[in-house]
Amino acid sequence: MIRKATVRDARDIHRLISHFAKTGQVIPRALSEIYENIREFFVFVPEGKDLIAGACALHICWEDLAEIRSLVVSEEYQGIGVGAKLVAACLEEAQKLEIPKVFVLTNSPDFFEKLGFSPIDKTELPHKVWADCVKCPKFPECDEEALIIRVLPEEI
């Protein structure tokens, strides 16, 4: 089941993000940061379980741009569409909020291209989106690729 995160989910989200941050797949997030931004997160709870096995956040950057961040899925649930469903929930939220474009910085561009994202040059993104980069162990030698998707039609 995919649902909006609650405050009670913060520790499980932190556990997952910390696990994948050790491998360099996502930027580490402090538990306090997850609590502060809990409304950005969607979580995956396997049927019959009460432990969070996946999470993803939609972070609003500006009136016309949001970012998919902290996409994590427990190894035992990878490869069965959980990540795609978490991203879809974020994109649906962007549509409801009337945010026309959503981007991602990732080491897995193929995954996002299958979901309809297109590669863009990182320099096309506003400087504001780089605020979290200083938290990344790879900074300033970023090896992630930028991709973007339009979730609302272009305005006339």
The mean pLDDT of 96-121, rounded to a whole number, is: 95
Query: Is position 26 within any domain?
Result: yes
pLDDT value of residue 144:
82
Backbone angles phi, psi at 67, to 5 degrees: -125, 135
Residue 67 belongs to domain spanning: 2-150
Q: Please report, to the nearest 10 degrees, the dihedral formed by the alpha carbons of residues 14, 95, 88, 140 taken in order.
A: -50
* pLDDT band for position 155 (cuts 50, 70, 90): low
Considering its fold, how many domains does the chain have in total? 1
Q: What is the pTM of this model?
A: 0.90
pLDDT value of residue 153:
86
The mean pLDDT of 77-99, rounded to a whole number, is: 97
Which range, 32-36, 134-138, 151-155, is most confident?
Answer: 32-36
pLDDT value of residue 102:
97
Query: Is position 24 within any domain?
Result: yes
Query: Is position 155 within any domain?
Result: no
CATH value at residue 143: 3.40.630.30
pLDDT value of residue 44:
98
Query: Is position 138 within any domain?
Result: yes
The set of residues, in sequence order, having a beta carbon less than 8 Å from that of 105 and lying 6+ positions away, is: 67, 122, 129, 142, 144, 145, 146
Q: Report the relative pairing of strands 101-106 and 145-150 from DSSP bridges.
A: antiparallel
Query: Is position 156 within any domain?
Result: no
Between CA 10 and CA 18 the distance in angstroms is: 12
Between CA 125 and CA 103 the distance in angstroms is: 9
pLDDT value of residue 126:
72
